[in-house]
Structure 1
Amino acid sequence: MCEARSACGSGEKLCHNRPMAVTEDLPPEAEPRRESVSPVPSPRRPAPPTLEEIAGRLQSRGGVRLRSLVLIRWIAVAGQAFTAGVVTWGLAFSYPVIPVAAAIALSAALNLGFELSQPGATRLNDRETAVFLGFDTLQLTFLLFFTGGISNPFSLLMLAPVAIAGSTLGVRSVVVLSALSTLCAGFVAVFHFPLPWDGPPPELPPIYMVAIWASLTLSIILIAVYTWRVAEEARQMGDALAAASAALAHEQRMASLGALAAAAAHELGSPLSTISLVAREMQREVEHDDPLKPDVELLVEQSERCRTILARLTVDPTIDVSEAYSVVSVPTLVEAAADPWDDGTVEIAYLQMQAAADAPDAPPVMVRGPEFLQGIGNLVHNATGFARQRVTVTTRWTRDWVEVEVADDGPGFPEMLLDELGSPFVSTRAGSHGHMGLGTFIAKTLLERTGAAVQFGNQPTPEGGGARVTVRWRNPVFRDT
C-alpha cells in the first residue's frame, strides 16, 4: 500500500504499487504500542485561585521612599537653621549655640550621606523608616533640651514624626515611635535649659507646664491613632482592590484560553476531516488478513477521538467564549460559575423558577463575562465553606428583574457583621487559616460592575439558620426580545 493518492475526477483512491514492510519481522519490543481508547472526559473548567493564593501574589506594602524622608528632613534642617539664626543674630537671645549648631549639622550630614550613598528611589522597610523617624525625634528633643523644653513654642514639631509614622508604618512601629515621643516630651518638660529670652525668661506656673505636657502627650497619641487608622483603611482598600483585580485578571485569562480553544478547534476541523476521510478509505481498502489492518483501525479510532474532543471544545459553554455562546441563559452561567467549587464535599443544588405569573417561560439571558463568573463563584465558594450538607443556588426572574440567590444550611452570618459585609477584610474567618476576609468584597465589587445589587442576610432553617446572599439585576433581557 502506498500513501500517495491519485486524483480521478473529484475523488481520491489509494494505490498498491509499492511493496510494504512486514511487521512480523520486527522484534517484539519494536511492535507498535496500542493503547485502549478510553472515553473522552468532559472538559472541566479549572477552579479559580483561592483568595489566599491571590494574596500571595500581591506585593507586600512597606516603608517609604528614601527621597521623601530626605526631603522632609532637609525642610526641617532648613527651618531649624533659620530659627537658630534669627534667635542668635536677629533677637540676640542667649542660649548654648554650639550644641544646637552641632545637632543641626549632624542631621544635615546624615541627610547628605543618605543622598550620596543611596539612590533616591530606594524604599525603606518598616523598621528602617522607624529608625529614621526615631532619630528625628531624638534630634528635636536634643534641641528643645537646650532651648527651653516644652515651653518652647516649637515643641509642637514633635508631632511631625508621629504623624508621618502613623500614615506610613505598621502598628508596632507607630506604637514604638509614639512611646518614644511621649518619653521625650516628658524628659524635656522636667530637664531643660532656660528658654532663650531678652533678660530673665518668663516663669510659667507649674500647673500650666503640666497642662502643656499633658496636651502635647495627648496630641501625640491622638494623631498617631487617627493617622494610622485612616491610612490602614486606605491600605486595606488598596489591597482588596488589588486582590479583586487579580481575580478578575485570572478569569479573563481563562476566557482567553476558552477563545483560543474554540479557535484551535475551528482551525483543526478541516485537516482532521481530511485525515478521517483518508483513514476510512484505508480501512475499506485493507484486506481482512492484512498485517496493517489493526494499525488502520487504530488510526480511525484515534481520529474519531480527536473529532470528539474538538466537538466538545466548541459546544461546551463553560470553556468557550465564541460568538455562539457570548450570550447565555442566566441559569447556565450560574452553573458554569459554581462548577469549579463542586468538589463533592457539599451538595450544590440548582433551581430556576418564575417569580411572577406573567414572567416569560424561558429564563433571561446575559452576556458571559468574567465579573459574573468570578463574583458568583466566590459566593458559592464561601457558601460551601460554611454549609453543613447543602448549598442551594436559585435563579428567579420576572419581566422587571432577575435574581440569583446563594443559600446554605450553615450557621449563617453573625448579626453584628450584616451591615459591614461587602467591605474589605470583614469575615468571621479573617486571619484564621490564611483567610483574608476578601471573598464577599470581591464578589460584591465584581457583581456591582455588572449592574447588580447585592444583599446579605440569613434565612430560617430547621437547623437554626443559614446564610443567604441575593444578587439582583434590573431590566433582564430575554431571547424573544
Structure 2
Amino acid sequence: METTSIRHVRFGRSNRSLRLQTLIWLRWLAVAGQTLTVFIVAVVLHFQMPVFEASLLIVALALVNLVLALRYPPTHRLQPGAALVLLGFDLLQMGSLLFITGGLANPFASLLCVPVIISFASLPLRHSLCLLAFAMICTTALSTTPYPVPWQEGEVLVVHPVLQLGFWCAIVSMMVFAAFYAYRVSMEATLLADALAATELVLEREKHLSQLDGLAAAAAHELGTPLATISVVAKEMERELKDDEKFGEDVALLRSQSERCRDILRRLTSLSAEGEDHLRRLPLSSLMEEVIAPHRQFGIELVLVEKGDRSSEPIGARNAAIMYGLGNLIENAVDFARHTVTITVEHTPAIVSITIEDDGSGFAPDVLTHIGEPYMSSRSRQDERAGGLGLGLFIAKTLLERSGAQLTFTNRATGTSGAKITIVWPRHVMDLTDSV
C-alpha cells in the first residue's frame, strides 16, 4: 500500500501559531475588566488604592493593543517568538498591577495563569516553558510586595506569611496543572486534525485513481482523429513509395506503427465503455482478491477463507475508502506476521464480516485500549515500514467506520499468537442488489 505521499506531507503539528486578532480581543477584555475592577474598588467601595499608577498600567496595555490592531491585519498570525514577547508583556502588566494592589493577597492573583494557559494551548513547548518560568518569577515577586491590599481607610489587611506561602503554592500548582492540561488537549486536537487531513488526502488520492479509466477514454477520443489522419497519409505514402529503396521500408514501418497506436486507443475506449459496470460493481470475492493481490509478494502466505456460497455473495459499488482501509489493515498484518495471514470472509442475510488474523506477536495489552488513535504505535514493537505511529491504522479505521463498518481489535485465542481484527457491515451497506 502506497503511503509515501502521506509521510512526506507536513501538517500543522510543528507549526502551532497564535492569531493576533484572538490575542487583541482577549486584551480588550482584560482592559475592560481591569478598568471596571479599579472603578468598583476606588469609586463604589471607596477603598484606598493607587488609582493613578493602576490607570497608567491599564492605559499602557490599551495603547499597545491599539497599535497592534492598527498595524497588522486581522488575519495576521504571530511567530512563536513574537507571541511569547506579547504574552510576556501581558504577564508583566498584570503582575505589576497586582504588585501595587496587595500581591498574592489580591483575590485576582490567579489571573497570572491566563497568559500561561494561552501559551501552552497555542505555542511550541519550549516557548511555553519560558513563559511558565517567567510567570513563576512574577508570582514569587508578588510575595515580596510592600503594598497592602486595597481596604477601608485607616485599616490595613495583614496577611500572615504562612498564608502568603499557601497563596503562592496554590497559584503555582494551578498554573502548572492548567498549563499541562491545556497543552495535552491542544496537542490531541492538533494530532486528530492532522490525522483526519491525512485521511482525506488518502481518500482523494484513491478517487483520482478510480477516475483514470475515464481520463484514458477521453485521451483515446481526442487522439483518435489526428491518428486516423496520420494513418491515411501513411497509406498514401506507402502506395507511392513502396518500391523506393531509400524510403519504402520506413514508410511501411510508419504505417504499421500508426495502426498499432489505433489498436491501443481502441482497447482503451472499449475498456471504459464495455467494462464500466465491472469497474463500478464488485462481488465481495472479487473485491477481496483485488485488495489482497498487492500483498502476495512479501514472502508471507495469505490465506483467504470464504464462508458462504458465492452465488449469494453481496455485490457492492467499488468504494475507494473500503478498498484502501482493508488494504491498509492487511498490509499491517503482513508487516507483523511470521508466516501466515488468514483472511476470513463471511456473509449472511444480515451482515458482512471480514476477519484478518496474523501469527505475529499480537497487540500489547496496554495498547489495545488505544488502538486507532493517531500517532501511536499499534504493536508492541516499532516497524519503520509500517509507520510506527499508528497513523495508517487510524486512517484505515476512520475510512471503514465512515463506510458503516464496526471494527474490533483483539488478540487471537489462548494457545495461539497474533492479532485479530474483525470488520462487520450491515448487509445492505455492502450489497447494491438489496436496494434494487
- The answer to whether the superposition gives a TM-score over 0.5 is yes
Q: Which runs of 5+ in 2 are unaligned?
A: none
1:386/1:411 contact within 8 Å kept? yes
From the superposition, tell whether residues 363 and 172 of structure 1 become closer, same or farther in structure 2 (CA, over 3 Å).
same
- Which of 244, 251, 255 aligns to 1:299? It is 255
Q: Output the TM-score relative to the length of structure 2.
A: 0.82
**For residues 142-165 of structure 1, what are the alpha-carbon distances to aligned partners after superposition, in whole Å with 9 as ceiling and x for unaligned?**
111111111111212222223323
Question: How much has 1:88 moved relative to structure 2?
Answer: 3.8
From the superposition, tell whether residues 71 and 57 of structure 1 become closer, same or farther in structure 2 (CA, over 3 Å).
closer
Most deviating of 406-415 and 430-439: 430-439
Which one-letter code corresponds to 2:409 in the other structure? F
| Percent of aligned pairs with the same amino acid | 34
1:360/1:398 contact within 8 Å kept? no
- Which of 355, 358, 364 aligns to 2:314? It is 364
- Which of 369, 376, 386 aligns to 1:426? It is 376
**For residues 163-218 of structure 1, what are the alpha-carbon distances to aligned partners after superposition, in whole Å with 9 as ceiling and x for unaligned?**
32333234334433333323322221233411222222122333333322222222
Task: Give yes or no for the alignment of 1:165 onto 2:107.
Answer: no
1:426/1:437 contact within 8 Å kept? yes
Most deviating of 255-264 and 150-159: 255-264
Helix, strand or coil for the counterpart of 2:108?
A: helix
Instruction: Tell me the residue number matched to 1:470.
Output: 422
What's the C-alpha RMSD, in Å, of the aligned pairs?
3.9
From the superposition, tell whether residues 265 and 235 of structure 1 become closer, same or farther in structure 2 (CA, over 3 Å).
same
2:31/2:62 contact within 8 Å kept? yes
Most deviating of 221-230 and 134-143: 221-230
Helix, strand or coil for the counterpart of 1:201?
A: coil
Task: Give yes or no for the alignment of 1:311 onto 2:267.
Answer: yes
Helix, strand or coil for the counterpart of 1:448?
A: helix
Question: How much has 1:439 moved relative to structure 2?
Answer: 1.0
From the superposition, tell whether residues 58 and 208 of structure 1 become closer, same or farther in structure 2 (CA, over 3 Å).
closer
Distance 1:270 1:157 in 2: 76
- Which of 179, 196, 201 aligns to 1:224? It is 179
Question: How much has 1:67 moved relative to structure 2?
Answer: 1.0
- Which of 339, 345, 352 aligns to 1:402? It is 352
Spell out the pairing of 1:131-146 with structure 2 (5 A cutoff). Answer: 131-146=85-100
- Which of 389, 397, 402 aligns to 1:449? It is 402
From the superposition, tell whether residues 154 and 417 of structure 1 become closer, same or farther in structure 2 (CA, over 3 Å).
same
Distance 2:269 2:328 in 1: 25
Q: Output the TM-score relative to the length of structure 1.
A: 0.75
From the superposition, tell whether residues 478 and 223 of structure 1 become closer, same or farther in structure 2 (CA, over 3 Å).
closer
Q: Which runs of 5+ in 1 are unaligned?
A: 1-45
Which one-letter code corresponds to 1:378 in the other structure? N
**For residues 92-125 of structure 1, what are the alpha-carbon distances to aligned partners after superposition, in whole Å with 9 as ceiling and x for unaligned?**
4444444433322222222122122221210113
Instruction: Tell me the residue number matched to 1:438.
Output: 391
Question: How much has 1:307 moved relative to structure 2?
Answer: 2.4
2:376/2:388 contact within 8 Å kept? no
- Which protein is bigger by CA-based radius of gyration? 1
Task: Give yes or no for the alignment of 1:459 onto 2:409.
Answer: no
Question: How much has 1:247 moved relative to structure 2?
Answer: 1.0
Spell out the pairing of 1:3-402 with structure 2 (5 A cutoff). Answer: 47=2, 49-53=4-8, 55-56=9-10, 61-198=15-152, 199-265=154-220, 292=248, 295-296=251-252, 299-300=255-256, 303-304=259-260, 307-308=263-264, 311=267, 315=271, 322-339=276-293, 344-347=297-300, 349=302, 351-353=304-306, 355-356=307-308, 359-361=309-311, 363-388=313-338, 390-402=340-352
Instruction: Tell me the residue number matched to 1:21.
Output: none
Question: Number of matched residues?
Answer: 428
With CA pairs under 8 Å and 6+ residues apart, which has the higher RCO, 1 or 2? 1
Question: How much has 1:460 moved relative to structure 2?
Answer: 6.7
Helix, strand or coil for the counterpart of 2:255?
A: helix
1:240/1:438 contact within 8 Å kept? yes
Which one-letter code corresponds to 2:353 in the other structure? E
Helix, strand or coil for the counterpart of 2:10?
A: helix
1:275/1:303 contact within 8 Å kept? no
2:12/2:190 contact within 8 Å kept? no
Which one-letter code corresponds to 1:412 in the other structure? G
Helix, strand or coil for the counterpart of 1:56?
A: coil
From the superposition, tell whether residues 329 and 268 of structure 1 become closer, same or farther in structure 2 (CA, over 3 Å).
farther
From the superposition, tell whether residues 479 and 232 of structure 1 become closer, same or farther in structure 2 (CA, over 3 Å).
same
